[in-house]
Amino acid sequence: MRLHHQTPFVISTALSVHAGRTVGLKMEALQPSGSFKLRGVGHACETYRARGAQRFISSSGGNAGLAVAYAARALGVPAVIVVPETTSDRAQQLLRAEGAAVIVHGASWQEANAEAQALIGAADAFIHPFDDPLLWEGHASMIDEVAAEGFRPDAVIVSVGGGGLMVGVIRGLQRNGWGDVPVLAVETAGAASLAAAYAAEERVTLPAITSLATSLGAKQVCAEAFDLRHRHAITPVQVTDAQAVTACARFLDDHRILVEPACGAGLAVVYDMPERLADFARVLIIVCGGATMTAAQLAAWQQGVPS
Ligand SMILES: *Cc1c(COP(=O)(O)O)cnc(C)c1O
């Protein structure tokens, strides 16, 4: 069984004309859970189920939790998602709509996660949002699909939170014989834990996340994302929150698909810094998605209203 969908791959006329080169889009926003997370989470949930797990536990109120809730329902396994009080009503509603039990606990994600960890029993599987080889294996399938389309990119643009997406994309590149295709690893300023780690040559922990791109808000990247810099060409790129939000609005007009700033960050490289792409004739962007985004939220952020 495969819980994720094969997503469209399209050459974007709008972005290609803007950037003066061919820009291909892998439309992960169209996964039924709203983001690419379903690839890795679906694969992890299926595997843990086959190993006997009778319940899935997550501490994500965002796209990872939604993917867990979706996968659990599809597999007929109960899911418990522990989220902090800061999780929006909309995110909680989306989780409950998938049939997950939602427990609201604590003021911060750290507290919610501690509660989730305390709940884990012998028959439960905890589904990590980014640090699990099973997730990376699932994410890698998006590159297999691009290869099947016959589009060999000269560079790939991915957003980076904890680094699971990037690790999976690089696995996919390497297993398709594209180990020499460089990756632009995009973060928003205020959530740039990969850039900080690469600059320090040490897996540093950011003191705080100050970006509105909450899906990129891992204070520390996973060890594999850090170590991979020796085995693949990875260039960290930073954009501002404003650039990420503006890119979401432009992408909505260009492709009629609403994504969150975590995804807008990658698009902003094409919209705002096409000079970063000067060496590449064919660029692939992972349009990673974002399920909790609304038109009203985008409008509010465009007007500078804090979330
Ligand atoms: C989770 C997520 C990311 C970041 O993925 P990591 O594996 O944490 O690096 C980027 N964009 C969206 C929409 C996400 O949900």
Query: Phi and psi (nearest 5°) for 12?
Result: -85, 115
**Does any ligand 1 atom lie closer than 6 A to the CB of residue 263?**
yes
What is the best residue among 38, 63, 134 to mutate for testing ligand 1's pocket, by most ligand atoms within 8 Å of CB?
63
Tens of pLDDT, residue by residue over 69-88, are 999 999 999 999 999 998 89
- To test the pocket of ligand 1, the residue of 27, 214, 288 to mutate (highest count of ligand atoms within 8 Å of its CB) is 288
Q: What is the pLDDT of residue 82?
A: 95
Spacing, Cα 262 to ligand 1 middle (Å): 7
pLDDT in tens, 234-291: 999 999 999 999 999 999 999 999 999 999 999 999 999 999 999 999 999 999 999 9
Instruction: Report residue 305's pLDDT band, with 50, 70 and 90 as the boundaries.
Output: low
Look at strands 124-126 and 155-159 and give their pairing.
unpaired
Residue 254: per-residue pLDDT: 98
Q: Is 159 in the pocket of ligand 1 (CB under 6 A)?
A: yes
For the chain, domains (ranges, CATH) are 9-36+134-304 (3.40.50.1100), 37-130 (3.40.50.1100)
Q: Report how far ligand 1's centroid is from the alpha carbon of 160 (Å).
A: 6
Q: What is the pLDDT of residue 109?
A: 86
Check whether 306 has a pLDDT greater than 70: no
Paired tokens of 238: 């930073």
Tell me the pLDDT tens digit for each residue of 165-207: 999 999 999 999 999 999 999 999 999 999 999 999 999 999 9
User: Helix, strand, or coil here: 23?
Assistant: strand
As given in the structure block, the two tokens for residue 296 are 């009203």
> Could you tell me the pLDDT band of residue 150, with boundaries at 50, 70 and 90?
very high
Q: Which atom of ligand 1 is nearest to 63's Cα?
A: 15
Kind and range of the H or E run holding 1: none
- pLDDT at residue 1 in the model: 72
pLDDT at residue 164 in the model: 98
